[in-house]
Amino acid sequence: MSKILNNGIPQRIIRDTQSFGLVALIEGAAANTQFINNLQVLGQQRKALAELRQKIAALPATATVEDRAALQAQALQLDALVSKNVQFMTQHYGYSLDQNYLLNPVNSALLKKAVDENGKPIEDEAKATLAAEFQTFEAYEAFQSLRQRAQDLGSADSKSDAYAAAKAELLDTYGFDVGSHYILQVRKGALYATIVTAA
Protein backbone atom coordinates (compact mmCIF):
# COMPACT_ATOMS: atom_id res chain seq x y z
CA MET A 1 0.00 0.00 0.00
CA SER A 2 1.52 3.33 -1.02
CA LYS A 3 0.88 6.30 1.24
CA ILE A 4 1.22 10.01 0.66
CA LEU A 5 0.79 11.53 4.11
CA ASN A 6 -1.01 14.72 5.05
CA ASN A 7 -1.04 15.26 8.81
CA GLY A 8 -0.58 11.52 9.22
CA ILE A 9 -3.60 10.69 7.04
CA PRO A 10 -2.79 8.95 3.76
CA GLN A 11 -3.98 10.72 0.61
CA ARG A 12 -4.26 7.37 -1.20
CA ILE A 13 -4.94 3.87 0.04
CA ILE A 14 -5.39 0.52 -1.63
CA ARG A 15 -7.98 -2.02 -0.47
CA ASP A 16 -7.92 -5.37 -2.20
CA THR A 17 -7.17 -4.29 -5.78
CA GLN A 18 -8.95 -0.94 -5.69
CA SER A 19 -7.23 2.42 -5.21
CA PHE A 20 -8.94 5.14 -3.15
CA GLY A 21 -8.17 8.85 -2.78
CA LEU A 22 -8.98 11.07 0.19
CA VAL A 23 -11.96 13.32 -0.55
CA ALA A 24 -12.94 14.64 2.89
CA LEU A 25 -12.07 14.66 6.57
CA ILE A 26 -15.13 14.54 8.76
CA GLU A 27 -14.41 16.01 12.19
CA GLY A 28 -16.39 15.21 15.33
CA ALA A 29 -18.61 12.38 16.49
CA ALA A 30 -21.84 14.22 15.63
CA ALA A 31 -20.65 15.05 12.10
CA ASN A 32 -19.58 11.45 11.46
CA THR A 33 -22.87 10.10 12.80
CA GLN A 34 -24.71 12.59 10.57
CA PHE A 35 -22.71 11.50 7.52
CA ILE A 36 -23.38 7.80 8.18
CA ASN A 37 -27.09 8.51 8.71
CA ASN A 38 -27.24 10.62 5.52
CA LEU A 39 -25.59 7.80 3.59
CA GLN A 40 -28.07 5.24 4.95
CA VAL A 41 -31.07 7.46 4.18
CA LEU A 42 -29.80 8.11 0.66
CA GLY A 43 -29.29 4.38 0.12
CA GLN A 44 -32.83 3.65 1.31
CA GLN A 45 -34.26 6.38 -0.94
CA ARG A 46 -32.35 5.12 -3.99
CA LYS A 47 -33.54 1.56 -3.31
CA ALA A 48 -37.16 2.73 -2.94
CA LEU A 49 -36.87 4.70 -6.20
CA ALA A 50 -35.49 1.68 -8.06
CA GLU A 51 -38.31 -0.50 -6.71
CA LEU A 52 -40.89 2.10 -7.71
CA ARG A 53 -39.45 2.31 -11.23
CA GLN A 54 -39.59 -1.49 -11.47
CA LYS A 55 -43.20 -1.41 -10.31
CA ILE A 56 -44.04 1.15 -13.01
CA ALA A 57 -42.27 -0.91 -15.67
CA ALA A 58 -44.15 -4.03 -14.54
CA LEU A 59 -47.58 -2.40 -14.69
CA PRO A 60 -49.88 -4.43 -16.89
CA ALA A 61 -51.31 -2.88 -20.02
CA THR A 62 -54.69 -2.98 -18.28
CA ALA A 63 -53.53 -0.58 -15.54
CA THR A 64 -55.54 2.60 -15.39
CA VAL A 65 -54.11 5.92 -16.43
CA GLU A 66 -54.72 7.15 -12.89
CA ASP A 67 -52.73 4.25 -11.36
CA ARG A 68 -49.84 4.83 -13.75
CA ALA A 69 -49.91 8.62 -13.17
CA ALA A 70 -49.98 8.15 -9.37
CA LEU A 71 -46.91 5.89 -9.43
CA GLN A 72 -45.08 8.21 -11.82
CA ALA A 73 -45.86 11.18 -9.56
CA GLN A 74 -44.42 9.25 -6.59
CA ALA A 75 -41.33 8.40 -8.64
CA LEU A 76 -40.83 12.05 -9.66
CA GLN A 77 -41.21 13.18 -6.05
CA LEU A 78 -38.75 10.56 -4.79
CA ASP A 79 -36.32 11.31 -7.64
CA ALA A 80 -36.33 15.00 -6.67
CA LEU A 81 -35.63 14.07 -3.05
CA VAL A 82 -32.76 11.77 -4.05
CA SER A 83 -31.30 14.52 -6.28
CA LYS A 84 -31.52 17.04 -3.44
CA ASN A 85 -29.81 14.65 -1.03
CA VAL A 86 -27.08 13.76 -3.54
CA GLN A 87 -26.46 17.48 -4.06
CA PHE A 88 -26.16 17.96 -0.27
CA MET A 89 -23.75 15.01 0.01
CA THR A 90 -21.69 16.35 -2.91
CA GLN A 91 -21.45 19.84 -1.40
CA HIS A 92 -20.49 18.64 2.07
CA TYR A 93 -18.45 15.51 1.40
CA GLY A 94 -17.46 15.45 -2.28
CA TYR A 95 -19.86 12.51 -2.72
CA SER A 96 -20.76 11.10 -6.15
CA LEU A 97 -23.00 8.21 -7.13
CA ASP A 98 -20.28 7.10 -9.57
CA GLN A 99 -17.79 6.24 -6.81
CA ASN A 100 -17.32 3.58 -4.17
CA TYR A 101 -16.42 4.91 -0.73
CA LEU A 102 -14.57 3.94 2.43
CA LEU A 103 -14.89 5.77 5.72
CA ASN A 104 -11.78 5.09 7.78
CA PRO A 105 -12.16 5.94 11.46
CA VAL A 106 -8.95 7.90 12.07
CA ASN A 107 -9.93 8.57 15.68
CA SER A 108 -12.70 6.54 17.25
CA ALA A 109 -14.03 5.12 20.49
CA LEU A 110 -15.60 1.80 21.34
CA LEU A 111 -18.51 2.40 23.70
CA LYS A 112 -20.19 -0.38 25.66
CA LYS A 113 -23.95 0.03 25.64
CA ALA A 114 -25.74 0.33 28.95
CA VAL A 115 -28.49 -2.20 29.63
CA ASP A 116 -31.94 -1.74 31.11
CA GLU A 117 -33.34 -3.66 34.09
CA ASN A 118 -34.23 -6.55 31.74
CA GLY A 119 -30.69 -6.77 30.37
CA LYS A 120 -31.62 -5.29 26.98
CA PRO A 121 -29.09 -2.86 25.45
CA ILE A 122 -29.98 0.83 25.57
CA GLU A 123 -29.40 2.63 22.27
CA ASP A 124 -28.63 6.00 23.92
CA GLU A 125 -24.95 6.72 23.25
CA ALA A 126 -24.83 9.14 26.20
CA LYS A 127 -25.47 6.23 28.60
CA ALA A 128 -22.71 4.06 27.12
CA THR A 129 -19.32 3.66 28.79
CA LEU A 130 -15.93 3.96 27.14
CA ALA A 131 -14.30 0.57 26.54
CA ALA A 132 -11.40 1.58 24.25
CA GLU A 133 -10.09 4.44 22.13
CA PHE A 134 -8.40 4.10 18.75
CA GLN A 135 -6.07 6.98 17.90
CA THR A 136 -5.24 5.65 14.43
CA PHE A 137 -7.00 3.66 11.75
CA GLU A 138 -4.36 0.95 12.16
CA ALA A 139 -5.28 0.55 15.85
CA TYR A 140 -8.93 0.23 14.88
CA GLU A 141 -8.04 -2.33 12.17
CA ALA A 142 -6.05 -4.39 14.70
CA PHE A 143 -9.11 -4.50 16.96
CA GLN A 144 -11.42 -5.45 14.07
CA SER A 145 -9.00 -8.16 12.94
CA LEU A 146 -8.90 -9.71 16.41
CA ARG A 147 -12.69 -9.41 16.77
CA GLN A 148 -13.20 -11.13 13.41
CA ARG A 149 -10.74 -13.88 14.32
CA ALA A 150 -12.59 -14.49 17.60
CA GLN A 151 -15.91 -14.57 15.75
CA ASP A 152 -14.56 -17.06 13.19
CA LEU A 153 -13.07 -19.27 15.93
CA GLY A 154 -16.30 -19.14 17.93
CA SER A 155 -18.33 -20.13 14.88
CA ALA A 156 -16.06 -23.12 14.26
CA ASP A 157 -15.79 -24.32 17.88
CA SER A 158 -16.98 -22.15 20.76
CA LYS A 159 -15.25 -24.41 23.29
CA SER A 160 -11.77 -24.27 21.72
CA ASP A 161 -8.74 -22.93 23.55
CA ALA A 162 -7.99 -20.61 20.60
CA TYR A 163 -11.45 -19.00 20.90
CA ALA A 164 -11.04 -18.60 24.67
CA ALA A 165 -7.62 -16.99 24.11
CA ALA A 166 -9.00 -14.57 21.47
CA LYS A 167 -11.89 -13.59 23.78
CA ALA A 168 -9.46 -13.01 26.66
CA GLU A 169 -7.21 -10.88 24.44
CA LEU A 170 -10.19 -8.79 23.33
CA LEU A 171 -11.21 -8.22 26.94
CA ASP A 172 -7.68 -7.49 28.21
CA THR A 173 -6.60 -5.26 25.32
CA TYR A 174 -9.84 -3.49 24.39
CA GLY A 175 -12.29 -4.06 27.25
CA PHE A 176 -14.43 -5.88 24.67
CA ASP A 177 -16.67 -8.63 26.04
CA VAL A 178 -17.97 -10.84 23.21
CA GLY A 179 -21.41 -11.16 24.84
CA SER A 180 -22.02 -7.41 25.24
CA HIS A 181 -23.26 -4.75 22.82
CA TYR A 182 -21.14 -1.86 21.58
CA ILE A 183 -21.25 1.33 19.55
CA LEU A 184 -18.35 2.55 17.45
CA GLN A 185 -18.19 6.32 17.80
CA VAL A 186 -16.17 7.78 14.93
CA ARG A 187 -14.68 11.06 16.14
CA LYS A 188 -12.67 11.79 13.02
CA GLY A 189 -13.27 10.01 9.75
CA ALA A 190 -11.28 10.03 6.53
CA LEU A 191 -13.59 9.59 3.55
CA TYR A 192 -12.01 7.95 0.50
CA ALA A 193 -13.44 7.50 -3.01
CA THR A 194 -12.34 5.14 -5.74
CA ILE A 195 -9.73 6.49 -8.09
CA VAL A 196 -10.59 5.85 -11.72
CA THR A 197 -7.53 5.59 -13.92
CA ALA A 198 -7.69 6.89 -17.48
CA ALA A 199 -7.86 4.11 -20.08
| Domain coverage including residue 150 | 105-194
133 inside domain: yes
Is 62 within the bounds of a domain? no
Rounded CA gap, 82 and 75, in Å?
10
Q: Residue 52: pLDDT above 90?
A: yes
In a domain, 95, yes or no: no
pTM of the predicted model as reported, rounded to 2 decimal places? 0.76
Q: Report how far apart the first and last C-alpha atoms of the chain are (Å, whole number).
A: 22
Domain-located, residue 36: no
CB 125 within 8 A of CB 193: no
Q: What is the domain count for the chain?
A: 1
Geometric angle at alpha carbon 86, from 84 and 91, rounded to 5°: 95
Asked if residue 124 is part of any domain, the answer here is yes
* Residue among 32, 39, 11 nearest 195 (CA): 11
**CB–CB of 163/146 below 8 Å?**
no
Q: Is residue 6 pLDDT above 70, yes or no?
A: no
In a domain, 130, yes or no: yes
Is the pLDDT score of 135 beyond 50? Answer: yes
Q: What is the pLDDT of residues 138-181, one digit of tens each?
A: 899 999 999 999 999 988 888 889 999 999 999 999 999 998 99
CB 68 within 8 A of CB 35: no
Share of the chain above pLDDT 70, in %: 95
pLDDT of 188 > 60? The answer is yes
Q: Which of 112-126, 155-169, 170-184, 185-199 has the lowest mean pLDDT?
A: 185-199
